[in-house]
């Protein structure tokens, strides 16, 4: 089945879209996704492929994930999400471990964002979350983003403790993609759980936050309140 899915994805390639995506996802020299290769297949089309092949065996999915073609990796990860949704606890654990074993291949922000909440976050909903703190301290940009995005599932379930703790760990992170991830999760916490809790966190840390992180976090605030944060007048 592995050869079959690769052949189908190759047949869907669009050179013009590939060029656009390679610029958008920063694949140039020295950029965060240097060397990543795109076929130029839009995500909705990839999801249709996932529907056809999600029952392929886990070994083949893992092989697909290790290929340096972006759409191969995203389809592999979305198949893992589908298998996780359909599987029993034993399968869920196996997929969780497979995901963590292969984080070096989960190496762009869309790959993380579309899968970490649905595998890592969901698996840890009723389990200890020590692994998230290990990921948050990782040298890998993508593992740090996984730790933050996994919290999206907790937020959706009205849990905030780990989101705030991991956000605090990542406050001084140097990478823009982490600034955006932390700000986004703080914004979602305020939107879905309690803006008062978000503001309590912001009042303590907004002066030392990277500007991008703060802007993302306060995006839904009223304009006069945003201005107060941005001008240090809170």
Answer whether residue 99 is part of any domain: yes
So what's the pLDDT on residue 51?
98
HSE-CB for 198 with a 13 A CA cutoff:
25
Give per-10-residue mean pLDDT for the chain (234 aa). 97 97 94 95 98 97 98 98 98 98 98 98 98 98 98 98 98 97 98 97 96 97 95 89
So what's the pLDDT on residue 181?
98
Whether residues 91 and 150 share a domain: the answer is: no
Answer whether residue 170 is part of any domain: yes
Whether residues 186 and 141 share a domain: the answer is: yes
Specify the CATH number for the domain of residue 127. Answer: 1.25.10.90
* Residue from 178, 194, 185 nearest 164 by CA: 185
Q: Which one of 43, 74, 104 terminates a domain? A: 104
Answer whether residue 109 is part of any domain: no
So what's the pLDDT on residue 233?
87
Answer whether residue 211 is part of any domain: yes
Whether residues 91 and 134 share a domain: the answer is: no
Q: Which one of 104, 134, 167 terminates a domain? A: 104
Whether residues 176 and 94 share a domain: the answer is: no
So what's the pLDDT on residue 27?
94
Instruction: Give me the helix-helix angle, 176-192 and 195-205, nearest 10°.
Output: 140
Question: For the chain, how many structural domains are there in total?
Answer: 2
Could you give the C-alpha distances from 146 to 149, 170, 221, in angstroms and in order? Answer: 5, 12, 26
Domain with 68, as residue range(s), is 1-104
So what's the pLDDT on residue 168?
98
Q: Which one of 104, 128, 160 terminates a domain? A: 104
Strands of the chain (E only): list them: none
What is the rounded distance in angstroms from the CA atom of residue 164 to the CA atom of residue 198?
A: 9
Answer whether residue 5 is part of any domain: yes
Answer whether residue 110 is part of any domain: no
């Amino acid at each position: 089945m592995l050869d079959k899915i690769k052949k189908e994805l190759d047949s869907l390639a669009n050179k013009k879209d590939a060029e656009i995506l390679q610029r958008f996802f920063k694949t140039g020299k020295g950029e965060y996704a240097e060397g990543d290769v795109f076929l130029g297949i839009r995500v909705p089309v990839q999801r249709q492929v996932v529907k056809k092949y999600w029952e392929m065996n886990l070994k083949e999915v893992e092989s697909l994930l290790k290929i340096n073609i972006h759409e191969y990796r995203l389809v592999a990860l979305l198949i893992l999400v589908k298998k996780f949704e359909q599987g029993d606890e034993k399968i869920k654990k196996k997929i969780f471990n497979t995901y963590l074993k292969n984080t070096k291949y989960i190496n762009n922000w869309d790959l993380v964002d579309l899968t970490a909440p649905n595998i890592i976050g969901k698996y840890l909903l009723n389990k200890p979350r020590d692994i998230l703190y290990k990921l948050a301290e990782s040298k890998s940009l993508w593992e740090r983003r996984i730790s933050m995005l996994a919290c999206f599932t907790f937020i959706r379930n009205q849990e905030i403790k780990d989101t705030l703790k991991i956000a605090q760990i990542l406050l001084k992170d140097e990478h823009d993609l982490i600034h955006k991830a932390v700000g986004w999760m703080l914004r979602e916490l305020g939107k879905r759980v309690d803006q008062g809790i978000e503001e309590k966190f912001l009042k303590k840390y907004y002066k030392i936050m990277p500007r991008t992180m703060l802007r993302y976090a306060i995006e839904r605030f009223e304009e006069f309140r945003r201005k107060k944060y941005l001008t240090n007048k809170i």
